[in-house]
Amino acid sequence: MDVKVVSLNIWHGELLDDVVAFLHAQDADIVLLQEVANATDSALTRKHRSFSLLRQELGYEFADFAPALNINWPEGKVIEGNAIFSKFPITTAHPPIFFNEPFGDMDYNDPKHFPKAPRNLQHIEVKTPAGIVHILNLQGVWDLDGDNDSLKRRNMSRIILEQTKGLQRVIVAGDTNAKPTNPAMLALEEQLVSVFKDELSTSFNLRRKDLEKFPGYATATVDLMYVSPDVKVVAHDCPNIDVSDHLPLTATLTIS
């Protein structure tokens, strides 16, 4: 059975209409998103209500949201986290596991808060014709240095390895905030297969980055995807499109 998967950090919904158009065109079986806002106040702008609007406008019957933090925007406090949309029924939604800080607040306009921004691992199980598939979606702990092999990053990879150990039909993807060559990320390859390995020069949308101030974005691949060894990668791509400050990852996988 072939399954199409898309992973994308949607940049707090800043380009939400473009995200919707892109995902409509992809028509993926499973979509993993990061930086998804889930406010319920209809008075707030569309970007702050991304989870419900994406589910409605894309038509996915099955969806799960893993809250990570409250962001203090000028418009008010908005809950944000990871989201998974699926054409397959969700049989189990595991409680999110936090990598660093517990659920809490963050001031988006204050950079000193970024290293302590709560980040977590979302894990659901979906029922497919090939059997149960484990989908794990993450946004990694923040660090401007993608090569820094920090204790927090080692803890992140340890948690991912623990949660996938012994499982079959596993897909792990997200904005890891770390390069694939970081020792903490290389540790994942002890039991998982890197879909893109070191093929990409960057996974950032450089149209949206200040390269004069932060030239490192041009050589930083932080959006990654892994599968268990029993999953075959048929095709994979990183389209250079303007839908976020990150680029999406797409993959067609054979699951049996």
d(CA 189, CA 226): 8
Task: Tell me what pLDDT residue 111 has.
Answer: 78
The pLDDT value given to residue 135 = 98
- For residue 66, the model assigns a pLDDT of 98
Q: State the Cα torsion 203-205-209-215 to the nearest 10°.
A: 40
Which parts of 124-248 fold into alpha helices (H)? 151-164, 183-186
d(CA 34, CA 23): 14
- The per-residue pLDDT for 16 is 98
DSSP state of 102: P
pTM higher than 0.85:
yes
- pLDDT tens for the 256 residues of the chain, in order: 999 999 999 999 999 999 999 999 999 999 999 999 999 888 899 999 999 999 999 999 999 999 999 998 888 899 999 999 999 999 999 999 999 999 989 887 777 878 889 999 999 999 999 999 999 999 999 998 999 999 999 999 999 999 999 999 999 999 999 999 999 999 999 999 999 999 999 999 999 999 999 999 999 999 999 999 999 999 999 999 999 999 999 999 999 9
Task: Give residue 67's pLDDT.
Answer: 98
